[in-house]
Amino acid sequence: MKNRKKLMLFAILIFLLSASVSSAYAYWAGTVNAPAPEDENITINIGEGGTVTTEIVLTNHPDFTDKILVPTGQVANSVDPGVGKENVDALYFCYNIR
């Protein structure tokens, strides 16, 4: 009989311990904020730039009139300039500053 009382007391203590741990965890889980969901989509706004006019005046220069300057690496993607003209992504010339 004494052994049965000890077993019953032990079972009640385990039950109370389990109930207190469960309620403490439930309280804690209710107060902790869940992490904000991450969005894998990135929004990038691309605008349009204004026109920029650049003029270079060269004296004693080679003839560049048959060459059309296009952005670097875009020669193959550029519009055909027409007969006798060529798309280039670089023009090389030497100049002196006065």
| Residue range 53-72: mean pLDDT, rounded | 75
Better-predicted residue by pLDDT, 85 or 93 = 85
Q: How confident is the model at residue 96 (pLDDT cuts 50, 70, 90)?
A: low
Identity at 69, one-letter amino acid code: L
pLDDT at 40: 76
Q: How far apart are CA 15 and CA 22, in angstroms?
A: 10
Query: pLDDT per residue over 5-53, tens digit each?
Result: 889 999 999 999 998 888 888 777 777 777 777 777 777 778 777 887 7
pLDDT at 1: 67
Of these ranges, 27-31, 33-37, 63-67, 79-83, the one predicted with the greatest mean pLDDT is 79-83
User: What is the chain's mean pLDDT, rounded?
Assistant: 80
Domain spans in the chain, listed from the N-terminal domain onward: 1-29, 55-98
Q: How far apart are CA 19 and CA 9, in angstroms?
A: 15
